[in-house]
Structure 1
Amino acid sequence: MGRLNVDIDDVVLEKAPKNAKYTSPTIQKEILHILANKVRKKICEEVRDAKFCILVDEAKDASNKEQMAIVLRFVDIQGFVRERFFSIVHVSDTTSSTLKKEICDVLARYNLHIFNMRGQGYDGASNMRGAWNGLQALFLRDCPYAYYVHCFAHRLQLALVAAAGNEISIWLFFSKLTTIINLICASPKRHTELHYAQAIEIAHMVATGERETGRGANQIGNLHRSGTTRWSSHFDSICSLIDMYGATTTMLESMVQEGSSNSIRGEAGGCLIVMKSFEFIFILYLMHKIMGITDLLCRALQQKSLDILNAMDLVSTTKVLLQTLRDAGFDLLLANVQFVCTKYEIDIPHMNASYKKATGRSCQQQGSVTVYQHYHYDIFNSTIDFQLEELNSRFSDGTVELLVLSSALEPKDNFKSFKVDAIYKLAEKFYPEDFNEQEMYYLRSQLEHYQIDVIHHESFQNMSTISKLCRGLAETNKSQHYHLIDRLIRLVLTLPISTATTERTFSAMKHVKTVLRNKMEEEFLTDSMMIYIERELVEDIDSDSIIDEFYSIKHRRVQL
């Protein structure tokens, strides 16, 4: 705690009586609990009477207990979108009724009312998104305006994984890629030899002018293993293999000649044959191109401040770029692949020859399909088509009326999408609880003034996101004049995008509750994680108030 708040360290530990060290577990837990409660109070002060959204996810801890993380998403008084970790709760089971009860108990404990909920963000599990008895359905019965949004990051993961698995050649590629990287990275000795081979290759390329020199350039890298929950990790894996392709093949050749056993030599030989095939190189660079397009969306969905309108814009631009690649990118990709194959002396098939499929029969017997057509239509077009199909299927929210109407608030292109009637209908249809009849009348009047004032104001020109618009209204004090429009903007910003913050919470839990500390009390775990995650709030806490509260507890205990 001293690292997070220097005053606590100075006052409590340094200036305390020398016979009072305050290092016993009980005392430490008391101070920790006081500090965590003050952080929660600060979060409640940030929320105030604002509408909020809950982000929920579950995971098992080091002791194999099911833990549920609760994160609050809201817009603070300055117009910033905040996602604050609020609690982690052990649940006996993951049924929707149990989860709802625990969430309601936590919110009620800190006077956060369910009727102020305006959004729910979960993954796509049936107990969460079920239309009849899922968690979102149970909350909608109590608060019909707490709209549920399926985590965009999960949707993207499902879309890309499904598309990759649907095309057999792509599935085989990723399977072989995993085998190659695992074989190289399994041994520290092989890892060191890989670095040595890469250093020789880089020195040769610098000498021949293939690489430029400079600060930070030509550093030794590592092969990255792909993860199961982050599609962007597959992109990192592909990028690392492309960068270290020559060193990797050199390493595999060395293992074939000097391997310690027949099985290792055989496995290395199999991997080497795969890596030196034209099809592997083609799919390697194809997936590098496709995943380079989707990577921006992957990483953007991990941000805390991304709003739902701009998330949908990123989905749309991703689809456009994939379609552009499909329409005009094959010949350029093929030329690049042929250049790489020539460089590493890999056989290039004749593009006009008949393609021979795995059945052993030539394509002339099955129909005249050339090698060029096979790679163009069976692999290139087919892979991109599956990607587009899955993205269209899983990101269909662009047709939902709520999002369509919300887009009228966007400031990009100098408020090109601004429509008074659409914004009025958004408030009237989707947020009737937040605007009474008289306020609805004033809303239209404010929109007419807003259209002349804000849209043409120099401070609001060239804004690209609705979150920046919200902050701009707060900074210029126009949120007071257009308080009803500001309220509507904040409601739209409250809609969740992804549950990435809850996943970061589980990453923090692995640091707090480890195998050596697997018997940690649940309350102590929650307090520790609150301080660990919300460090910026801990730094602002007045140490004197902590000390006063601590001594007050001690005094009451002595009296008892």
Structure 2
Amino acid sequence: MTSPKIQKELANACVAEITCAIVDDIGDKYFSLMIDEARDVSVKEQMGVVLRYVNNNGYVIERFLAMVHVLDTSAISLKKAIDCLFAKHGLSLSRLRGQRYDGASNMRGEFNGLKALVLKENPYARYIHCFAHQLQLVIVVVAKDNRIVSDFFQYVIMIVNAAGASYKRKDQLRQHHHDRLVEQLEKVEIVSDRGKNQESSLARPGDTRWVLQNVHDDGASNDNRGIAASLIEEMENYQFVFVMYLMRRLLGITNELSLALQQKNQNIVQAMRLIEVVKARLQDLRETGWEAFLEEVSSFCEGNSIVVPNMGDNMQIRGRSRRKGQVITHFHHYRVEIFCKVIDLIAQEMQNRFPETSTELLLLS
């Protein structure tokens, strides 16, 4: 029983018995297919296959069927692997009623994607992109397509790496944050409860800046000191704080929807309502939330000695020749080019990735 060969044989026997039980439970019922592909530690492409169906007791069941090795992740290769797997276990593609993959072109392509290849054989196999993944892609698109937001996240990554590059810095950050929490608790400025203001909570920006200052002062090399100084300078920039508050507000608006979409026992009707609520809140923030948002950002900057620009003053248009003399006001830059533009981009992506046709299909299913 301790022989690796015997252990593998036992494992394979268990796999065979479990797979047979899953296939027998499905029987001639309709089912949906969920697939994702990834590379394993040996750099081989593997395709994970999950089936979803309603059992005899009326419960929705999800079962992991197999992990299939594929030569590549092209749509044709994945389709051939599915056909072989279904033939092996006596499953019929004609009983398929749903497809769920990620948003890669090889999976959801309109003409040559796996979705299209399956639909050619079975037009009833509706494709629905995972809604939780769709929501993640909304934020990803914003982070990539908007240069200012993209720069912000790049700086955040650098700040996190610099502040957490050693156990010493992590301990400094944790201790400094702990001391501040204790001081605020003693002054009754904050309250502590389960999940509130615990020691492991995310450190405040001021704590991170303090650690970076230590890196600058105690840096073992000029490179470390230079990087720390540059990051401190960026953190003390009004635009950095402005984008930080904006992304925190936007991620907060989408957070409830994100949690709902990731629930194991998901209430799809409630999820659909939350999608509409998120769209409405984004529109409300754009139309009526500017003044309050600007006041919140300015208050933080003034409390942390960060220079707040006069919104009526002119500023040079970034990336254009100064000889042309083209300028815009700070108000236009922050109100139009960042605040409204980012909100509009998220709202448009929400509309594109959660169209009414998809939501109606889910509600009817």
TM-score normalised by length of structure 1: 0.60
Quote the Cα distance in structure 1 between the aligned partners of 2:259 and 2:245.
21
Query: Which of 1 and 2 has higher RCO (CA within 8 Å, sep 6+)?
Result: 1
Quote the Cα distance in structure 2 between the aligned partners of 1:323 and 1:152.
21
**2:227 aligns with one of 267, 274, 281:** 267
State the SS of the aligned residue for 2:230. helix
State the SS of the aligned residue for 1:351. coil
Contact map agreement 1:81 1:304 (CA 8 A) in 2: no
> Is 1:399 matched with 2:357?
yes
**1:465-485 deviations in Å (ceiling 9; x for gaps):** xxxxxxxxxxxxxxxxxxxxx
Structure 2: segments with no counterpart, 5+ residues:
none
Inter-CA distance 139–217: structure 2 relative to 1 (3 Å threshold)? closer
Quote the Cα distance in structure 2 between the aligned partners of 1:42 and 1:319.
44
Aligned residue pairs, count? 363
- Equivalence for 1:420: none
Return the letter of the residue paired with 1:294: T
State the SS of the aligned residue for 1:49. coil
Contact map agreement 1:165 1:171 (CA 8 A) in 2: yes
> What are the within-5 Å matches in structure 2 for residues 52-131 of structure 1?
52-131=31-110
The CA RMSD over aligned residues, in Å, is: 2.6
- Equivalence for 1:204: 183
Greater CA deviation, 337-346 or 248-257? 337-346
Contact map agreement 1:81 1:305 (CA 8 A) in 2: no
**1:46-76 deviations in Å (ceiling 9; x for gaps):** 4233210111121100001110110101222
**1:301 aligns with one of 261, 269, 275:** 261
> Is 1:290 matched with 2:276?
no
> What are the within-5 Å matches in structure 2 for residues 362-373 of structure 1?
366=326, 369-373=328-332
1:344 Cα deviation from its structure 2 partner: 1.9
- Equivalence for 2:212: 252
1:253 Cα deviation from its structure 2 partner: 1.5
Quote the Cα distance in structure 2 between the aligned partners of 1:103 and 1:45.
18
Quote the Cα distance in structure 2 between the aligned partners of 1:73 and 1:113.
14
**1:504-554 deviations in Å (ceiling 9; x for gaps):** xxxxxxxxxxxxxxxxxxxxxxxxxxxxxxxxxxxxxxxxxxxxxxxxxxx
State the SS of the aligned residue for 1:120. strand
Contact map agreement 1:164 1:383 (CA 8 A) in 2: no
- Equivalence for 2:292: 332
- Equivalence for 1:507: none
> What are the within-5 Å matches in structure 2 for residues 312-351 of structure 1?
312-351=272-311
Contact map agreement 1:173 1:283 (CA 8 A) in 2: yes
Greater CA deviation, 154-163 or 376-385? 154-163
> What are the within-5 Å matches in structure 2 for residues 109-508 of structure 1?
109-214=88-193, 217-221=196-200, 240=202, 243-306=203-266, 311-358=271-318, 366=326, 369-396=328-355, 398-399=356-357, 404=360, 407=363, 409=364, 492=365
- Equivalence for 2:6: 27
Quote the Cα distance in structure 1 between the aligned partners of 2:75 and 2:361.
31
Contact map agreement 2:108 2:115 (CA 8 A) in 1: yes
1:102 Cα deviation from its structure 2 partner: 1.7
Quote the Cα distance in structure 1 between the aligned partners of 2:141 and 2:105.
18
> What are the within-5 Å matches in structure 2 for residues 531-550 of structure 1?
none
Contact map agreement 1:57 1:69 (CA 8 A) in 2: yes
**1:371-427 deviations in Å (ceiling 9; x for gaps):** 33432222111110111122222333x136xx53664x5xxxxxxxxxxxxxxxxxx
Quote the Cα distance in structure 1 between the aligned partners of 2:127 and 2:244.
37
Larger radius of gyration: 1
- Equivalence for 1:459: none
Return the letter of the residue paired with 1:78: N
1:317 Cα deviation from its structure 2 partner: 2.4
Return the letter of the residue paired with 1:374: H
Return the letter of the residue paired with 2:103: G
Quote the Cα distance in structure 2 between the aligned partners of 1:65 and 1:214.
47
Could you list the structure 1 runs, at least 4 aligned residues long, displaced by more than 6 angstroms after superposition: 359-362
Quote the Cα distance in structure 2 between the aligned partners of 1:134 and 1:350.
52
**1:303-328 deviations in Å (ceiling 9; x for gaps):** 44447665544332221121111112
- Equivalence for 1:430: none
Return the letter of the residue paired with 2:347: L
Return the letter of the residue paired with 1:271: L
Quote the Cα distance in structure 1 between the aligned partners of 2:216 and 2:112.
57
Contact map agreement 1:206 1:212 (CA 8 A) in 2: yes
- Equivalence for 1:489: none
Contact map agreement 1:121 1:148 (CA 8 A) in 2: yes
TM-score normalised by length of structure 2: 0.89
Identity %: 38
- Equivalence for 1:486: none
**1:138-161 deviations in Å (ceiling 9; x for gaps):** 222322211122333443333322
Structure having the larger proportion of residues in strand: 2
1:45 Cα deviation from its structure 2 partner: 4.1
Return the letter of the residue paired with 1:169: I
